[in-house]
Amino acid sequence: MQTSEFIDLENQFGAHNYKPLDVVLSHGKGVWVWDVEGKKYLDCLSAYSAVNQGHCHPKILEAMIEQAKKLTLTSRAFRNDQLGLFYKDLCELTRSHKVLPMNSGAEAVETAIKVVRKWGYKVKGVPQDKAEIIVCENNFHGRTITIVGFSTDENSRAGFGPFTPGFKIIPFGDANALEAAITPNTVGFLVEPIQGEAGVIIPPPGYLKEVRSICDRHNVVLILDEIQTGLGRTGKLLAEEHDGIEADLTLVGKALSGGFYPISAVLSNTEVMAVLQPGEHGSTFGGNPLACAVARTALKVLIEEGMIENAREIGAYFLEGLKQVKNPLIKEVRGKGLLIAVELYPEAGGARSYCEQLKEKGLLCKETHDNIIRFAPPLVITKDVVDWALERIGSVLGRE
């Protein structure tokens, strides 16, 4: 079948809730993917940072196959011999006390919301149904009704109400706004260390440290959504490490499986998670042995193969290279590790056409909002490949 036939099938039978680039991929290896016509591309999106370990990592693949032959799903009605080992690995790696496994990122966010509300009522003493959670403008935490209800992106919200009450929205990067928004009923502050979907928005230096101390002062649970920034993407295992802080609840997903399987988790540092009793929360697939075996290996290769250090070093090199691309239409180049964005002025006519041109040159990038191009290749990318990419990016974006 031809590219156009695959696209026609999708258009005919699928819901039109995405606007993908017109490339139909059939296989991948490391940082590279190939389309059905055999053309090779550098993946500069990594499935929104789910494929940090590179496509089809052989060790994760092997773990998946071996576990799939043995046992895939028990539900949590019974125990399995992978779950405890997964908990232990994840806790040791992230210095957490407790783990609650789910599947998608949005489910991890929903789980954290439930946990902090319950904690608010049982421990903090907030009156029934009065719990408030503070979130930030331009956040992205997923697509459920509750989560889009506190989005500030009209596209995500319009037509989906009525929404879940109990959320307060403040500007991102403004610690004073957080302190001002806290009331005796505030139970949690949910924030991304760097706003990925908003276009790689990096808060001012010291922001997270201040947020940490404000949350401590007011007995508010700090929930960091590291679903995109975590697991090596920014050059640290967790982005919070750049600021030397620890969240009370940390959400991870995406790269937790290296792209093989939907796996997410809520990590807890405090007694907050202890408020959950049997029967109060769960998921049929959450913590299944296949997921656990895959995740354990995905974490292992991230560490053993030096991917986090590579993200730091190659990320800095890539960022520097992008800053050398000269074009008066480029407003800003920013990033941390391998989470990088090039923001264009509106006069550039939108990032989409540049992504289309980059695709023709063999780079797959996706615009985020209208004017931002994100560069987030798998963390196994080498300097040579970055040079290859910069040459092509320069030819599309550069104007002397």
Ligand X SMILES: *Cc1c(COP(=O)(O)O)cnc(C)c1O
- The residues that are catalytic are 140, 225, 254
> Closest separation between CB of residue 22 and ligand X, Å?
22
Q: In 10 A of CB 279, how many CB atoms?
A: 6
> Closest separation between CB of residue 294 and ligand X, Å?
15
Nearer to ligand X, 197 or 367 (CB): 197
Nearer to ligand X, 41 or 48 (CB): 48
> Closest separation between CB of residue 355 and ligand X, Å?
19
> Closest separation between CB of residue 157 and ligand X, Å?
16
Nearer to ligand X, 141 or 312 (CB): 141
> Closest separation between CB of residue 218 and ligand X, Å?
24
What residue is closest to ligand X based on CB?
Answer: 105
> Closest separation between CB of residue 141 and ligand X, Å?
5
Nearer to ligand X, 166 or 196 (CB): 196
∠ CA(148), CA(154), CA(155), 5° rounding?
A: 85
Nearer to ligand X, 60 or 109 (CB): 109
User: What residues make contact with ligand X under the rule CB under 6 A?
Assistant: 48, 104-106, 109, 140-142, 192, 196-197, 225, 227-228, 253
Nearer to ligand X, 175 or 224 (CB): 224
